[in-house]
C-alpha cells in the first residue's frame, strides 16, 4: 500500500474524488483529405516563411561548396554526417560545452513536414543535442523523398520510444518579443538551411 500522505497519493486521491461524472470517450482522429499537389514546393515555401531556405544539391561536393558559399568566414564546422567531414566530428564531442565555438553545425534530418517546413531531428541524428542550438548556423541534409504532408502523418513516423530527444525544427531561432518585430537568431541558430540530398 502506498503511504496516503505523500503528495502523489494526495493528488491522485483528490483527482479521484473530483473526477467529473461525465465520462468522455477518446475521439478517433480521422484521416483528413489532403491537397493532391506535390509536397516539396509546399515544404520549401513554408520553410522560407519560417526564415529558412532550401537548396537542391546533387553531391557531397556540391554540399561542401554550398556550405562555404553560405558561410565563408566559418572556422569551426562540426559535422554529424558522413557526407561532410567538417573541422570537427560531432562523435568526438564529450561534453556539449565544447560546442560553444561552433560556427556551422551539419546534421541530417529523418524527414520534413510540408505544412510547416519543419524537419524532425533526434538525439541520434544530432549526436550531441547541443549541436543544433549552440552552433551559430545549422545546415540540415534532407532526402527530398522524405517529406510527409502534415503533423498527423509526422507523428506516425516519430518513434518516441527510441529516442530521448526529438524536435520538429521549423527554420532558425526567432523572437518577436520587442514590439512584435521578427528577429532571427534570438538564442539558438541564426540561420537554418536545408540541403536536399538523398543519403549516400
- Exactly one of 3, 30, 36, 69 binds another protein (CB under 8 A); which one? 30
Q: Which helix (DSSP H) or strand (DSSP E) does residue 61 occupy?
A: helix 60-70
Cβ closest to another protein, residue 63 vs residue 173: 173
- Exactly one of 1, 3, 25, 73 binds another protein (CB under 8 A); which one? 25
Q: Is the separation of the CB atoms in 29 and 97 below 8 Å?
A: no
Cβ closest to another protein, residue 86 vs residue 166: 166
Burial letters 6-21, b for 16+ CB under 10 A, else e? eeeeeeeeeeeeeeee
Distance CA 84, CA 23 (A): 55
200 binds another protein (CB under 8 A): no
Q: Determine the longest span between alpha carbons in the chain, in angstroms.
A: 65
- Phi/psi at 47 (5° precision): -60, -45
Q: Write out the DSSP string of 99-129.
A: GGG-SEEEEE-SEEETTTTEEEEEHHHHSST
Q: Stretches 64-72, 74-82, 84-92, 148-156: which one binds another protein (CB under 8 A)?
A: 148-156
Cβ closest to another protein, residue 53 vs residue 60: 53
- Exactly one of 53, 70, 74, 174 binds another protein (CB under 8 A); which one? 174
What is the C-alpha end-to-end distance of the chain, expressed in Å? 56
Cβ closest to another protein, residue 64 vs residue 123: 123
16 binds another protein (CB under 8 A): yes
C-alpha cell recorded at residue 165: 530527444
194 binds another protein (CB under 8 A): no
Angle at 93 between CA 89 and CA 96, to 5 degrees: 130
- Exactly one of 39, 84, 173, 197 binds another protein (CB under 8 A); which one? 173
36 binds another protein (CB under 8 A): no
Cβ closest to another protein, residue 69 vs residue 182: 182
72 binds another protein (CB under 8 A): no
Q: What's the closest the beta carbon of residue 150 comes to another protein, in angstroms?
A: 7
Q: Report the candidate in 96, 83, 103, 172 with the shortest Cα–Cα distance to residue 128.
A: 96
- Exactly one of 106, 130, 141, 195 binds another protein (CB under 8 A); which one? 130
- Exactly one of 39, 50, 67, 80 binds another protein (CB under 8 A); which one? 50
Amino acid at each position: 500500500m502506498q503511504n496516503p500522505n505523500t503528495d502523489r497519493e494526495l493528488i491522485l486521491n483528490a483527482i479521484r474524488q473530483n473526477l467529473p461524472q461525465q465520462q468522455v470517450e477518446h475521439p478517433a482522429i480521422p484521416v483528413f483529405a489532403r491537397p493532391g499537389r506535390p509536397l516539396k514546393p509546399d515544404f520549401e515555401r513554408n520553410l522560407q516563411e519560417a526564415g529558412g531556405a532550401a537548396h537542391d544539391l546533387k553531391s557531397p561536393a556540391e554540399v561542401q561548396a554550398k556550405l562555404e558559399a553560405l558561410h565563408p568566414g566559418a572556422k569551426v564546422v562540426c559535422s554529424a554526417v558522413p557526407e561532410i567531414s567538417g573541422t570537427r566530428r560531432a562523435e568526438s564531442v564529450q561534453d556539449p560545452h565544447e560546442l560553444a565555438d561552433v560556427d556551422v553545425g551539419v546534421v541530417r534530418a529523418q524527414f520534413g513536414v510540408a505544412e510547416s517546413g519543419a524537419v524532425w531531428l533526434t538525439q541520434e541524428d544530432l549526436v550531441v543535442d547541443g549541436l543544433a542550438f549552440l552552433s551559430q548556423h545549422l545546415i540540415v541534409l534532407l532526402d527530398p523523398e522524405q517529406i510527409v504532408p502534415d503533423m498527423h502523418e509526422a507523428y506516425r513516423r516519430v518513434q518516441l520510444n527510441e529516442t530521448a530527444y526529438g524536435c520538429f525544427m521549423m527554420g532558425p531561432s526567432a523572437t518577436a518579443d520587442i514590439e512584435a518585430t521578427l528577429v532571427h537568431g534570438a538564442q539558438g541558430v541564426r540561420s537554418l538551411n536545408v540541403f536536399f540530398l538523398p543519403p549516400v
